[in-house]
Copies of this chain bind each other. A is one copy, B any other.
């Protein structure tokens, strides 16, 4: 497509593989999310990139979710968080959905990807399309302090 350009770096590749045009802002946000290992709110991103506009960041995160490299997290705080998906995640029920842990002490939300959500039993005629499991409590870091 653009052989003339410099070879895309790691971050550009991630975006391009998911049909996201790698603009400067998107690359920075992607990098920021990759470096953070906790779920990140729009406000978090906004504070980090003080110079940039909230709407742009909002739409950047939205694009990431729509294109499937990130997922939205509702951790019950009322503030939407975002976290990058694991490789090969298709955000599908029974295979990809993991639980989220919100620490009431440090207020951080993390993805617990090691443990998938156990199979949910539903009454007759109910069809599950999506599952959100949030555990609140004390995280390992705060617990060991």
With CB as the reference atom, state the residue of chain B lying closest to A124: B140
* A96: chain B residues within 8 A (beta carbon): none
A125 and B99 CA atoms in complex are apart in Å by 16
Interface 1/0s, chain A 80-123, versus B by CB < 8 A?
Answer: 00000000000000000001010010000000101100111111
Binding site for B on A (CB under 8 A): 74, 76, 78, 99, 101, 104, 112, 114-115, 118-140, 143-144
Given A132-B136, A137-B128, A138-B127: A78 in contact with B78 (beta carbons within 8 A): yes
Complex: A133 Cα to B121 Cα, angstroms: 12
Q: How far is the CA of A104 from the CA of B128 in the complex (A)?
A: 10
Establish whether residues A144 and B132, one from each chain, have CB atoms under 8 Å apart when the complex forms: no
Cα A76 to Cα B130 in complex, Å, equals 11
> Contact at B118–A143, with CB atoms within 8 Å?
no
Q: A74-B74, A74-B76, A78-B78 are in contact. Are A130 and B136 (CB under 8 A)?
A: yes
A124 to B101, CA, bound (A): 13
Chain B, residue nearest A114 (CB): B123
Asked if residues B130 and A137 are in contact (CB atoms below 8 Å), the reply is yes
Interfacial chain B residues near A139, Cβ < 8 Å: 125-126
